[in-house]
Structure 1
Amino acid sequence: MSSIRLGIPFDFAVSGFGFFGTIVGYNFVKYDAIARQGKPVRDVKMNVFIALSVISFIAASGFFLMLEWLTKVISVAVLLVTALYTLPFFPNKKTARDWAGLKIYFVALCWVGVTVVLPVLNKGFPLTIDFYISSLQRFILVIVLLFVFEIIDMQWDDPHLKTVPQEIGVLNTKILGVVLISMNLALELLKTMRKPELIVVNIVFGIFICIFLLQANQKRSRYYTTFWVEGITVVWWFALDWVSKNT
């Protein structure tokens, strides 16, 4: 999506690193959560989990070596943010995940780093106004998508996490999300590279996100987020790619 919207060539190394690095990072966080609940049981599922993590780590390492030096520095910075989110670095032995209200901002920051900053820097493109706008748009997009997760997970989340729905209520969270998506779409008009057909696609998917946000509640099944909401960005990418090639 970043390549299409910023007009930069597709970067196989960055995409491969982002794909396998995401698996490693997510599984690292996931395993930490499992380990905190007690000694993990080495069953078939856990063995597959470990094997997938190891293979992904090797693949991510290989793609990492293909990156430019500045991109490697930013990649390490994103890794440190992920580690900060998971491991206790401070005397109180709390991780960033336990810092009230900060979870979604750490996640959004990692998304911006991997999906916007890395592709641009690795190709040596200048940091134009379009780059900064795209970074802000991606940050806002992830925040709003995470609102859906936080609304549905309210029944399980620790009250001390102080998620947005816990702090301002579900209705106000939905209103805030719609406002943020509207701002996100408005930012498109500030870009120097504006293609009407791509703007139309972004508006359509912005509306879809608002619908999913407004329909979110604690009674939704887990597939509401893990399939439908997670899948929005994938379908969005396909739509942008098709429109950019056929207009």
Structure 2
Amino acid sequence: MKGFQTLLDFYIRSSFHVAFCFVALFLAFHFRNFIKLDDAMLLLIFCGVVIGYNIIKYAALLLERKYFRFKTAIITITATASGIAAYLIISDSLWTAVMVFIASAFSVFYAFPLIRHHNLRQVPIIKLVLVAISWVIIICFLPLKSVYVNFEYSYDSLASPITDSVKWLYGLDIVQLFLLIIALCIPFEIRDLQYDSPQLKTLPQLIGIHRTKLLGVSLCIIYLVMEIIQFGFATNIWAVSTYIVVPIIAVSIWFSDVFKSDYYTSFFVEAIPVLWLGLLLLLN
């Protein structure tokens, strides 16, 4: 049992879990939109998430020469992922390189000072916003002009060539995804309340746990309302999976201060996108 827990801790701390879940969210979001999707795109996204999260979590500790668990293995994994990602970016389009650079910049600016003694961590609720923006860039914009991907932009009867209606719907999808990512991050904000410095000014620190949970649930409701306004009470596999998964996200937010184990957020809440993708594949 102890060996299994050590393996699970390594899987989570090395950012493998969040990377797998991010890829699942990417696939779920674009479930209808791909004509071609090379494994290279998924590998690039996976490596990028591992690199980004490990930089945010461990870069400062490395600079201060502090110990953290699985240090050698995590450094090796991050370096390997960096090499793979660099090769894939060089082999792709300039657009991909620009999108990766922008998303990476948010991570670097959050982790390191922009000027002496000042970084983006000191801006209220910036962690939530930066995570959401970075995720949206990678999920929504990175694949648009990648050599690894061809899009169809399929919205029932609306498909390519790209019409104004399709652009409008994709824009609404981006807004919905941004709101959903904020909601998905709220259990982590509540969990980290006991660790975060008051200087971070996270959402629970500013408005309290109860109001933070209300905000998260409200974002889930807004997401569903936007979905219904766009497509009505649809019964296709995307709609059915959405009506199942988004309420699960709302419930996970509401109970985020009840379950005290780190595994509740770091493993189970993080894995909700995997459940979403699994439902889509099962219903399909």
Check 1:184–1:132 CA distance in 2 against 1; reply closer, same or farther (3 A cut).
Answer: same
Q: For residues 85 and 121 of structure 1, what CA distance do their matches in structure 2 show? A: 27
- Percent identity for Structure 1 against Structure 2: 28
- The structure 1 segments of at least 4 consecutive aligned residues displaced by more than 6 Å after TM superposition are 192-195
Q: Give how far 1:241 is off.
A: 2.5
Check 1:121–1:131 CA distance in 2 against 1; reply closer, same or farther (3 A cut).
Answer: farther
1:64 aligns with 2:89: yes
Residue segments in structure 2 that go unaligned for 5+ positions in a row? 1-27, 152-161
Q: For residues 47 and 154 of structure 1, what CA distance do their matches in structure 2 show? A: 28
Q: For residues 176 and 124 of structure 1, what CA distance do their matches in structure 2 show? A: 36
* 1:104 alignment partner AA: L
Residue segments in structure 1 that go unaligned for 5+ positions in a row? none
Does the 8 Å contact 2:55/2:107 carry over to 1?
no
Check 1:7–1:191 CA distance in 2 against 1; reply closer, same or farther (3 A cut).
Answer: farther
Match of 1:4 among 31, 34, 48: 31
Check 1:238–1:120 CA distance in 2 against 1; reply closer, same or farther (3 A cut).
Answer: farther
The corresponding residue for 1:84 is 109
1:22 aligns with 2:77: no
* 1:82 alignment partner AA: S
The corresponding residue for 1:102 is 126
Q: Give how far 1:104 is off.
A: 0.7
Does the 8 Å contact 2:47/2:82 carry over to 1?
yes
Match of 1:115 among 129, 132, 139: 139
Does the 8 Å contact 1:14/1:118 carry over to 2?
no
Q: Give how far 1:107 is off.
A: 0.6
The corresponding residue for 2:169 is 130
Q: For residues 129 and 213 of structure 2, what CA distance do their matches in structure 1 show? A: 17
Does the 8 Å contact 1:89/1:95 carry over to 2?
yes
Q: Give how far 1:50 is off.
A: 1.2
Q: Deviations over 1:79-122 (max 9, x none)?
A: 112211112122x4322123222111001111111122112332
Q: Give how far 1:213 is off.
A: 0.7
The corresponding residue for 1:160 is 199
- TM-score, with normalisation over the residues of structure 2? 0.77
State the number of aligned residues: 241
Does the 8 Å contact 1:3/1:119 carry over to 2?
no
Q: Give how far 1:189 is off.
A: 3.5
